[in-house]
């Protein structure tokens, strides 16, 4: 029997869905991925610029390092309550030119930021880097599959992340002690020794307008990073759902192939029996699926013919 006359059953539909998800994540370059790369570069650039142009000069004036080192000599071990100094990556500022309230700025890296920063590396290793975004957006309960996959991603991040990022990573599973000798070098680029006054909120500092504007740019870079990651999931997820709805309603493979014309390059299976009708597909869905095909065709045409690209498929199906 010809492939396009193949009847679909539940097993074949599941195979098609899994391979379509892999195709969208691995073989369909999209603008949202370029946007995430730009957001990553912007985050790293603005973060360094803000540290150099705002944090360093203000802290040098407010808490000179030579004074802090002298004060640190009187610290008694690692006990926070018996120390005169602490290492901090969190700062409160209040603008001197307006009546705006003080605001907190952190140089630690949240779990969402970490997964966005290493999205492409995680995907290449077979992980679903947007899993946390998916569960947050869909309000799904965190089941054993979720914990298994997030734990695997966390372990992978500890292997592939840069030492500085790993040292500043602040999530529920890994919290590196800033006073620990093991990670003191990793966080030193974005850390300052400050008086132990009971937390960063007790050390609120005034700043001039140019510094305040630079700090706001840093906050925008932080939110821009996580928003770009979230938008990537939304666009890719919508494309996956579009095809899944067609697969669920299709009776024959040919009805799927109408919107996934290169399906035979992605899937191979034997025939079986089942029956179901294909209902009307919206124009928006048709356009998204046609566009995704054009993108993949363009990507294949740009690859050297003698090079075979092997793409891992494990781990990209959405978690139930």
Alpha helices by DSSP H, 126-173: 131-138, 144-160, 163-168
Q: Are 297 and 290 in contact (CB under 8 A)?
A: no
Structure tokens at 319: 């978690």
pLDDT of amino acid 186: 56
pLDDT of amino acid 43: 98
Give 3-state DSSP helix, strand, coil % of the chain, rounded to 5.
Answer: 60, 10, 30
Q: What CA–CA distance (Å, rounded) separates 191 from 74?
A: 20
pLDDT of amino acid 201: 87
pLDDT of amino acid 187: 63
pLDDT of amino acid 126: 92
Q: Are 95 and 209 in contact (CB under 8 A)?
A: yes
Q: Are 190 and 168 in contact (CB under 8 A)?
A: yes
Distance of CA 206 to the CA centre of its chain: 33
Write phi, then psi, for 81 (nearest 5 degrees).
-80, -10
Q: Are 132 and 111 in contact (CB under 8 A)?
A: yes
Q: What CA–CA distance (Å, rounded) separates 277 from 74?
A: 78
pLDDT of amino acid 82: 74
pLDDT of amino acid 180: 41
pLDDT of amino acid 215: 97
Per-residue pLDDT of the chain (320 residues; tens, 9 = 90+): 455 578 888 988 998 999 999 889 988 899 999 999 999 999 999 999 999 999 999 999 999 999 999 998 888 766 666 788 988 999 999 999 999 899 999 999 999 999 999 999 999 999 999 999 999 998 888 889 889 999 999 999 999 999 889 889 976 444 444 444 344 445 678 999 999 988 888 899 999 999 999 999 999 999 999 999 999 999 999 999 999 999 999 999 889 988 888 887 777 655 433 333 333 345 666 567 667 767 777 776 777 665 444 444 444 444 44
Q: In what order do the strands lie in the sheet with 103-106?
A: 103-106, 90-95, 205-207
Give the tens place of pLDDT for each residue, 164-215.
Answer: 898 899 764 444 444 443 444 456 789 999 999 888 888 999 999 999 999 9
């Amino acid at each position: 029997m010809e492939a396009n006359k193949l009847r679909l059953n539940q097993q074949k539909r599941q195979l098609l869905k899994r391979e379509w998800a892999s195709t969208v994540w691995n073989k369909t370059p999209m603008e949202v991925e370029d946007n995430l790369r730009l957001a990553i570069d912007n985050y790293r650039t603005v973060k360094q610029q803000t540290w150099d142009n705002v944090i360093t000069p203000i802290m040098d004036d407010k808490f000179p390092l030579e004074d802090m080192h002298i004060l640190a000599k009187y610290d008694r071990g690692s006990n926070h309550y018996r120390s005169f100094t602490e290492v901090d990556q969190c700062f409160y500022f209040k603008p001197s030119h307006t009546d705006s309230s003080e605001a907190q700025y952190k140089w630690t890296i949240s779990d969402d930021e970490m997964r966005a920063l290493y999205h492409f590396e995680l995907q290449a290793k077979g992980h679903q880097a947007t899993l946390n975004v998916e569960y947050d957006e869909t309000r799904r309960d965190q089941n054993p599959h979720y914990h298994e996959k997030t734990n695997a991603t966390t372990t992978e991040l500890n292997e592939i992340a840069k030492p500085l990022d790993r040292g500043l990573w602040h999530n529920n599973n890994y919290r590196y002690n800033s006073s620990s000798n093991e990670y003191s070098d990793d966080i030193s680029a974005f850390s300052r020794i400050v008086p132990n006054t009971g937390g960063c909120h007790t050390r609120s500092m005034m700043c001039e307008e140019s510094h305040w504007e630079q700090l706001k740019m840093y906050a925008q870079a932080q939110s821009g990073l996580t928003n770009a990651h979230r938008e990537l999931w939304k666009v890719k997820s919508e494309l996956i759902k579009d095809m899944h709805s067609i697969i669920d309603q299709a009776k024959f493979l040919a009805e799927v192939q109408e919107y996934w014309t290169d399906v035979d390059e992605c899937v191979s299976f034997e025939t079986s029996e089942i029956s179901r009708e294909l209902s009307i597909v919206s124009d928006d869905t048709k356009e998204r699926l046609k566009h995704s095909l054009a993108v993949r065709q363009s990507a294949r045409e740009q690859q050297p013919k003698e090079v075979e690209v092997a793409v891992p498929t494990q781990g990209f199906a959405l978690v139930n």
